[in-house]
Structures are given as structure tokens and as C-alpha cells.
Amino acid sequence: MKYLNEYRAPDTVKRLADAISALTTRPWRIMEVCGGQTHSILKYGIDQLLPEYVTLIHGPGCPVCVTPLTAIDKALAMARQPGVIFCSFGDMLRVPGSREDLLSVKARGADIRIVYSPLDALTIARQNLDKEIVFFGVGFETTAPATAIAVWQSKQDNLSNLSFLVCHVRVPPIVEALLVSTENSINGFLGAGHVCSIMGYQEYLPICHKHRKPIVITGFEPVDILQGIYLCLKQLEEKRYEVENQYRRVVNPNGNRTAQALMQNVFKVVDSHWRGLGKIPNSGLALSDEYNDRNAELRFDTGIDVVSEPHNCQSGQILQGLIKPPQCPEFGIRCTPETPLGATMVSSEGACAAYYRYRRHPHG
Amino acid sequence: MCLAIPGQIIAIDDHADPLKRTGQVDFFGISKVVSLGFVPEAKLNDFVIVHAGIALSLIDEEEAKASFQAFSELANRSDFE
Amino acid sequence: MAEINLNCPLPLPYEQIVMAHGGGGRLMQQLLDRLIQPVFDNPILAQKQDSAVITVNSAKLAFTTDSYVIKPLFFPGGDIGKLAVCGTLNDLAMSGAKPLYLSCSLIIEEGFPLADLKRILQSMQQSAQKAGVKIVTGDTKVVEQGKGDGLYINTAGIGIIESALAISPQKIHSGDSIIINGDIARHGIAIMLERESMQFDHHITSDCSDLSGIVHGLLDSGVQAHCMRDLTRGGLASVLLELASAADCHLEIDETAVPIHEAVSSACEILGFDPLYVANEGCFVLFVPEHQTYQALEILRLDPLGQQAAVIGKVIRPKPGGMVTVKTSFGTSRVLNLLSGEQLPRIC
């Protein structure tokens, strides 16, 4: 598989790991913001290839995990209504709302469809003109343009039976918030390559300079991640702090201007609540007023206003990289993938679930 | 956060509105119609990176080669390719 | 981030059956261990084999049953009928039995087209005939519209064990080689792509097939199989975990040695699936003493279902409770765990 296999080549990986060992003279803590990178790191055991004193901290980069409870409860209420076909990405189905998840509602007979793309929802809407179709738009700036193009096209095509429950979130505000709250505990960041393919990385320049922390925009394959770590460590060792781009084959500094233009048209920037982290200013994307007629929250009266999240686990600290999942007293005991206390245990991308799956030794 | 996979454009369905342009993208044995709305410069046989049914960007072959070059310098070996 | 709330939802108590209880993962294991096994408690059931091995007048018989619930009923590479026959034949084969007779119970939803039913029954007969077994008894029930997905099938099977070999997880031994007959994850991917609204173009077909021929080729040639198990819903990982636990052994798998078709592997990349947990219907793992590894491989490769047979790992050492680790191509390793339920396509 071109552009995958060469980035998983064992000899290249080994050389990079050796170069990292040779380079590093002191302990460093690096956070990978993106859940996709966390997944790769644990699946391939990349952290096992690093010198002991280089620590990877897993960040909040899982849009499924951070989707607020209010949005999930609204989704559940819409999905339960007769005559509705509710379309969602697969990984949203197991995220618990206040009482249950979409999967249980589906098991009780609701018409919930797993789609690969928001554009699949357009097809479903055209094939089911007597039904109301709702698409649940979650995810970062990588996924938001896909929702944007589906919203735009549904308006162009006058598809009136399709609406959108939108709660997309933006990465730079959370990186900034993390930089503030983690103070001196994290030395450098690996930026999320696919988000930057859309947004570019200009937004990170002032953040990087203000906080004096290196940010390396990084891809997702083992070779990418190791090279990202190498570049980040090199900056740290040389006392530099810059925004650097490891993922040049996909990311250019300004991102995808066409996608950005459509997103500006379809969405507006709003304050957003992040599950486990609280409200973060300007961190969300909602449908712009021009698309009110496609807004599922206006089309369906769910009677749900704001759902407050019950107090329990430490996912907030895990999402900030302040503790690792096994350090949570509930991890693997009261909190398991079947009985998740927090969304980081639900999503296969969540740091807790990834640890549970790849690292927990079942019998001690 | 975002699962995106490289694939090759094997057919293009042009449209008067470039945002509605689509293409068949092959992911090594499985293919799908993907929106090319955000990559107006994409041509047949180009590689794109696809997420949730849209092409996010073209893959830059020159940059890919250059980054492999960087590995080789980093590993201090000239025979790396 | 001035206002950081350590907020999480409370756990969902399961007082009712949820889909994951049938998903072949951890919840199903809990249901078996905590409810079903204790209620029916007896020494034969306690062996936790796919087939019960019973002795009647000095004849050793294997007896098994399985229900088939699948959407869609017709899929690339098979249909529910072929699946219902092959699945039960495979359960018999894994205990080393030669299959003799099958039963067939149909639960049909009101309104189900007779033409489809005929197609499915013919497919069952075809698969049975090919394996040289007869479907000799059965039952038919009709349920109201909306109370079933068209058709459910249950089959039970009886076979005879002629070889003196005792094949069971308890025979698994340190040093044994772990062999697989073919490429993994085809069934699950074919079904997933067919069922959900994902609109991919592909030629991936289910691996649904009867393994009794290849298994008997192996046993008849004198390979001393310690244990065999066909892979089903929970994929290779779930079967290995179950066997590791039953045998109290640490198994190690070499990830790069596990055969997988390129298109299936691509589909897994796109959907975010780990192929080790994706369903199969024509694959089995075989534990043999190390010195018979190459003999077993050669014999497997003579069969059309064994063309891609490969050694995928070995039994490392005894370990109470069992453990399965996967060695990556980088020399690192990770621990396998049962998944809670079926994998769902993910965006992240």
C-alpha cells in the first residue's frame, strides 16, 4: 500500500529510534494531541522504542470522547422519534449519554445507520423522501469540512428532509488551553496532521511563541510519529521553539483554502463545552444562521436544554495529560469499556480504552 | 483523531460547480466515490488523503521523497531510499 | 482553562441483555461464565468445547448446536443457509469428529418470500451434500411480522470421533506451534460493507466454508493436533484469548505472519478495524507439537482452504489465567484483550 507501507518499514523505524536515543540527553515530556496518534503509538508499541526518560503524554484529541453530554442526549432524543433515520459515525454509537447510548436505542428498533461519510446521509435522504434524516456531525476540523459540504449540497439540491446536529470542535483553542493548564509539565507538542491538512498551521505560530513550546505537525504512521518526536526533541535539546512540519507530504502552511472558505460559510465559531474539560471559548463550530433550516436542533423539539455532567472520574486530568489512565483508582476496576465512567474509556480512541485494550495484563 | 487514508484517483466525474466534483478513489483493492470538492487541482492517478468520504488534500510526491531524504541524513547513511 | 470539571457519566448497569452480550467479546464471556455455565453445570459442559464429546456404548460422539442470525441473509460468498451448515460442520470438525447428521430449525417471519426460503434451503442441502452429511430432522415456526429479521436458522450436528486423539485446550503445551489455515477477517468485512450504508466498491467475499475436509486430511496423515478451534464472531484474537485462558498458557503471535488479503487490510484501515478481531467463517487455528509444524503446513497447503496456511505464533510458557501478546514488526509487543462488543467503524 503506497504511502502506508514505507512509513511502517521496520528498518526505518529502527534507525529513527536509534537517532532519538543518540540525540536525547535529558528527560522530556511530549504530548501527542491527537487520538489517532495515541492509537498508533499503543498499537505499534512506539513508546517502547523510546529512551526511558522520554515520556509521551496522551492528549484530548478524540472528538468522540469530548462531545458534550447535552449533544448526545439530544441525538438520542432525535433518534428515538418515529419516522427518523439517524445517521452517525460508528464510534459515536457507544458513547454513553445520561442514561443510554445510540447502540441501545438502535437495538430497541430505532433506525440508526452507521455511515462512513456525511455524503452517505445525502444518499439516504434521497432514497427515503418520506422520512426525516438527521446527520450527527461531530469531530475536529478534519471532519467538519465533510459535514460542511453535505450541508451545502443538501441546500443546493433542495433536500428538505435532511437536517444536521452539529457539534464540531476546533483544535487550536484546546491546545492553547492545555498549554495554560499544564504549565511546565509538558515540554513539547506533536500537532495533529490531518486537522492541519485543512487548517494549516499559521494559528499555532503565536501560540508557540507565547508559550515557548515546540509544536511539530505530525502524521500518523510509525515513521511519521518517530520523526515528529525526533524533531520535537531536537528543538528541545537545542533550546528552540518553532512550529515545524513533519507531515509535509499532506500539510501545507495555509491548509486547504477551499475547505476553509466553505466552512466559514456553513459554520460559525461558538464557545463549546468539552466533556471532561468544561467550557472552552471559541472552540466549537455550529451551523451558521443561513443554514437554520438545516439545523436539527431547531427542527426537533427535544425539550433538552443543558445536561450537567455527573461528577465521577478523572478523565479531565487524563485528557490534560496530568495522569496516565492506570493511575486513576477506578481504571479497570469500576471503569471498564462495559461500564465506562468517562468517555475516554468508551471511544476506542480514548486514552483509557486504548490502555485497557493494549496494555492491561488480564491477570496481573 | 482523524482516520484518513491515502488512495489513488482512478476516475473523475467533473461537474459545473467544482465543489460537486467527485472521483472514484482506489484504496488498494476497495474503492469509493469520494468528494474532490476541496482538491480542484487533483488529476487522474493522483494520490489524495481521504477522510469521511472527502479528499482532504493531495499527497505531494516530491515532499514525500524529500522527507525520506531527511530520514537518511538523520540516520547518517547515504544508501537509504 | 479556569473551570476544569472532572466530569464523567455514571456507569450503565446492564439489567437487560444488550447486543454486546452476543458479540463474542467480553460481555458474552461473562454471560456464559456467570449465568449459563453455573445453571447447567456438568462436567461435559465445563470442558467449554465447541462440541460436547459424549460416549454412547463405547462410541465417541461429538454433539453441537448453533443459531444463525445474520443481516443480510445473502452476502458475497454465501448466505445464511450455507453459513448454518458450515458453521455446525466446523464445530464438529474442531473436535476431530467426522460429521454424520444435522438438524435444521427455521424461525421465519410472516411475509418472508418463499422464493428466498427455497434458495436458502437449497444452499443448505448443497453444503450438506458436499460434506457427505444428511439433514435428518427439523422444525419450523413462524413469528409475526416485525418480530424477526426475515429468517433465523438453528442447526445441530452429530459426528463420530474415530481417532484416539484427545483434542482439547487442555492439551495445549509450551512450545506448540500455532498455525492458521488461511487469511483472516474476510467474513466480517464482507458483511459490514454489505450491511451498513457505506457504499464501497469491492470484490471481498466471505470465507464461509466447510472445514471438515481439510481437518480430516490433517488428522488422517498422522498430525498430532493438540487443539483446533474455528474462528467466528470475535475473530482470531477472541479465540486465542479463550484458548490461552482455558489452557493457562501465554501465547505469542507474530503480527506480520498472520495472512490477510490486501483489500481486506485496506478496508480495515479505512474503517479503523483491528483485523485480529474481525469475524471469520472459514478459518481455524491449530496447535501442534513443534516438530510437526512443517508436516502440518505441507498437508494444509494441499487443500484449497489451506493455500495460505502459516505459522502465526507459539505457546511460550504456562501462565495461570492465560495471556496473549502480539509481537509487532518493530520487535515491540502489546497485550490482547477481549473487546466489549463488535467493532464499529470509526472516524478517529
Q: Are residues A281 and A324 in the same domain?
A: no
Please tell me the least confidently modeled range out of A149-158, A196-205, B60-69, C107-116.
Answer: B60-69
* pLDDT number for residue C10: 28
Q: What is the pLDDT of residue C343?
A: 85
Gap between the Cα atoms of A331 and A314, Å rounded: 10
**Alpha carbon of B3: minimum distance to chain A alpha carbons (Å):** 7
Q: Is the pLDDT of residue B40 over 60?
A: yes
Of the candidates A86, A97, A63, the one whose C-alpha atom is nearest the C-alpha of residue A167 is: A63
Using CB atoms within 10 Å of the CB of residue C261, give its burial: 0 to 12 exposed, 13 to 18 middle, 19+ buried: buried
Q: Name the band, by pLDDT with cuts 50, 70 and 90, for residue C1.
A: very low
Contacting residues of B for A192, CB less than 8 Å apart: 1-2
Rounded to whole angstroms, the Cα distance separating A185 from A27 reads: 12
The CA distance from A55 to the nearest CA of chain C, in Å, is: 17
Which three three-digit cell numbers place residue C153? 436458522
Would you call B28 and C262 a contact, using CB atoms and an 8 Å cutoff?
Answer: yes
Q: Please, which pLDDT band fits residue C79 given cuts at 50, 70 and 90?
A: very high
Mean pLDDT (chain A, rounded): 90
Q: Which of residues 40-69 of B touch C (CB under 8 A)?
A: 51-52
- Substitution target in B30, B34, B35, B51 with the highest count of C β-carbons within 10 Å is B30
* pLDDT above 90: residue A71: yes
Q: Which positions in chain A touch C25 (Cβ < 8 Å)?
A: none
* Rounded Cα gap, residues C166 and C158, in angstroms: 17
Residue A211, pLDDT score: 92
- In this structure, the answer to whether residues A221 and A343 fall within a common structural domain is no
* Chain A closest-CA separation from residue B69 CA (Å): 12
Q: Are residues A257 and A218 in the same domain?
A: yes
Examine residue A206 and state whether it is found in any structural domain, yes or no: yes
8 Å CB contact of A256 and B59: no
Do the chains contact at C337 and A14, CB–CB below 8 Å? no
A296 and A338 in one domain?
Answer: no
pLDDT at C344 over 60: yes
Q: Say yes or no: A260 contacts chain B, CB-CB below 8 A.
A: no
Asked if the model's pLDDT at residue C9 lies above 60, the reply is: no
Q: Under a CB-based contact definition with an 8 Å cutoff, are residues A193 and B3 in contact?
A: no
Q: Indicate the range of B11-25, C193-207, C209-223 predicted with least confidence.
A: C193-207
Residue C7 has pLDDT above 90, yes or no: no
Contact with chain C for residue B29, Cβ under 8 A:
yes
Q: Is B54 part of the contact surface with chain A (CB cutoff 8 Å)?
A: yes
Contacts (Cβ under 8 Å, ≥6 apart) of A41: A32, A47, A56, A58, A225
ipTM: 0.90
Residue of A243, A153, A239, A165 lying closest to A199 (CA atoms): A243
d(CA C149, CA C106): 12
Total domain count for chain B? 1
Contact criterion met (CB < 8 Å) for A276 and C8: yes
Query: Is residue A15 domain-resident?
Result: no
Nearest to C211 by CA among C152, C284, C155: C284
**Residues C152 and C66: beta-carbon distance below 8 Å:** no
Residue B34 lies in a domain: yes
Q: CA–CA separation, A190 vs B8, rounded Å?
A: 27
Q: For residue C86, what pLDDT is reported?
A: 98
B2 vs C contacts (CB less than 8 Å): 347-348
Q: Searching chain B, which residue's CA lies closest to the CA of residue A115?
A: B52
Are residue A45 and residue A75 in the same domain, yes or no?
yes
**Pairwise CB contact (< 8 Å): B29 & C263:** yes
- The Cα-based distances of A153 to A60, A65, A147, A205 in angstroms read 31, 28, 10, 34
CATH number at residue B20: 2.30.30.140
Number of alpha carbons in the 13 Å side-chain half-sphere of residue A231: 24
* pLDDT score of A168: 95
State the residue range of the domain holding A252: 29-313
Q: Is residue B81 situated within a structural domain? A: no
Question: What's the mean pLDDT in C70-81?
Answer: 95
User: Three-class SS of residue C158?
Assistant: strand
Check pLDDT > 60 for residue C3. no
pLDDT, one tens digit per residue, over C30-66 is: 888 888 888 999 999 988 888 999 999 999 999 999 9
Domain residue limits, chain C: 50-160, 169-335
Look at residue A235 and tell me whether its pLDDT is greater than 90.
yes
- For the stretch C25-32, contacts whose Cβ atoms lie closer than 8 Å and that sit 24 or more positions apart, written own/partner, are C25/C234, C25/C238, C25/C338, C25/C339, C25/C340, C25/C341, C25/C342, C26/A337, C26/A338, C26/C337, C26/C338, C26/C339, C26/C340, C27/A338, C27/C340, C27/C341, C29/C242, C29/C338
- Give the residue from chain A lying closest to B70, CA to CA: A227
Q: Do C6 and A124 touch (CB under 8 A)?
A: no
Q: Which three cell numbers stand for residue A348?
A: 476506542
Is there a contact between B3 and C348 if contact means CB atoms under 8 Å apart?
Answer: yes
- Which of C161-165, C215-219, C340-344 has the highest average model confidence (pLDDT)? C215-219
Is B77 a residue whose pLDDT tops 50?
A: no
Contact by Cβ (8 Å): A299, A292: no
Q: Which residues pair with A58 in a beta bridge?
A: A32
What residues in A contact C335, CB-CB < 8 Å?
358-362
- pLDDT tens digits along A45-60: 999 999 999 999 887 7
Say yes or no: B24 contacts chain C, CB-CB below 8 A.
yes
- Stretch C247-268: mean pLDDT, rounded? 97
Is A151 inside a domain boundary? yes
Chain A positions touching B2 (Cβ under 8 A) are: 34, 36, 139-140, 142-143, 192, 194-195
**C261: helix, coil or strand?**
coil
Which pLDDT score is estimated for C4? 27
**Residue B79 located in a structural domain:** no
Q: Does C199 touch chain B (CB under 8 A)?
A: yes
Dihedral pair phi/psi, residue A195, rounded to 5°: -60, -45
Q: Note whether residue B62 is domain-resident.
A: yes
Q: Are residues A44 and A165 located together in one domain of the fold?
A: yes
Which of B34, C51, C305 lies closest to A119, judged by CA? B34
Contact C26 A338 (CB under 8 A): yes
pLDDT at C64: 97
Nearest CB among A177, A348, A358 relative to C334 is that of: A358
What fold characterizes domain C50-160?
Answer: 60s Ribosomal Protein L30; Chain: A; (3.30.1330)
Which CATH fold topology does C169-335 show?
Answer: Phosphoribosyl-aminoimidazole Synthetase; Chain A, domain 2 (3.90.650)
Give residue A347's pLDDT: 67
The pLDDT value recorded for residue C5 is 27
- CATH at residue A265: 3.40.50.11740
Given CB atoms, is B11 within the 8 Å cutoff of chain C? no
Q: Which H/E stretch holds residue C201?
A: strand C201-202
Given pLDDT bands bounded at 50, 70 and 90, which one contains residue A329?
confident
Q: In chain A, which residues have their Cβ closer than 8 Å to the Cβ of B39?
A: 256, 258
pLDDT in tens, C145-181: 988 889 999 999 999 999 888 899 999 999 999 999 9
> Left, alpha or beta for C96 (phi > 0: left; psi -120 to 50: alpha)?
left
Q: What integer pLDDT is reported at residue A348 of this predicted model?
A: 64
Strand bridging mode C249-254 / C310-318: antiparallel
Q: Are residues A154 and A292 in the same domain?
A: yes
Find, among C265, C314, C310, C252, the residue nearest to C283 by Cα: C310
SS3 of C30, please? helix
- Interface A-C, measured as beta-carbon pairs within 8 A, has a size of 206
Q: Give the residue with greater pLDDT, A341 vs C56.
A: C56
**Chain A residues touching B80 at Cβ < 8 A:** 12, 15
Q: Do A36 and B1 touch (CB under 8 A)?
A: yes
Beta strand pairing call for A132-139 and A162-169: parallel
**CB of C81 within 8 A of CB of C210?**
no
Query: Contact, A135 vs A165, CB < 8 A?
Result: yes
pLDDT at residue A360, as a whole number: 63
Place B76 in a pLDDT band, splitting at 50, 70 and 90: low
> Number of structural domains, chain A?
2
Subunits adjacent to chain C (3 or more Cβ pairs under 8 Å): A, B
pLDDT of residue A219 exceeding 70: yes
Q: Which residues of C touch A61 (CB under 8 A)?
A: 348
Cα separation, A116 vs B3, in Å, equals: 11
Domain that holds residue B16: 5-74
Lowest mean per-residue pLDDT among A240-244, C8-12, C83-87: C8-12
Can you tell me whether residue C100 is helix, strand or coil? strand
Which residues, 6+ apart, have CB-to-CB distance to A6 below 8 Å? A12, A223, B68
Quote the distance between the C-alpha of residue A138 and its chain's center.
Answer: 9
pLDDT value for A361: 53
Instruction: Say yes or no: C262 contacts chain B, CB-CB below 8 A.
Output: yes
pLDDT of residue A180: 82
Residue C12's pLDDT is 37
The answer on A83 and A122 residing in a single domain is yes
Q: Which chains have at least 3 CB atom pairs separated by less than 8 Å from chain A? A: B, C
pLDDT band per the 50, 70, 90 thresholds, residue B72? low
CA distance B51 to chain C (A): 8
Contacts of B43 (CB under 8 A, 6+ apart): B9, B12
The CB density around residue C45, as the number of other CB atoms within 10 Å, is: 13
Q: Which of A235-249, A261-275, B57-71, C318-332 has the lowest average pLDDT?
A: B57-71
Residues A328 and A269 placed together within one structural domain of the fold = no
Report d(CA A201, CA A194) in Å as an integer.
11
User: Which residues are CB-contacts of B61 (< 8 A; sequence separation ≥ 6)?
Assistant: A249, B47
Residue B80 lies inside a defined structural domain of this protein: no
pLDDT the model gives residue A283: 94
Q: How confident is the model at residue B74 (pLDDT cuts 50, 70, 90)?
A: low
Mean pLDDT of C96-107: 97
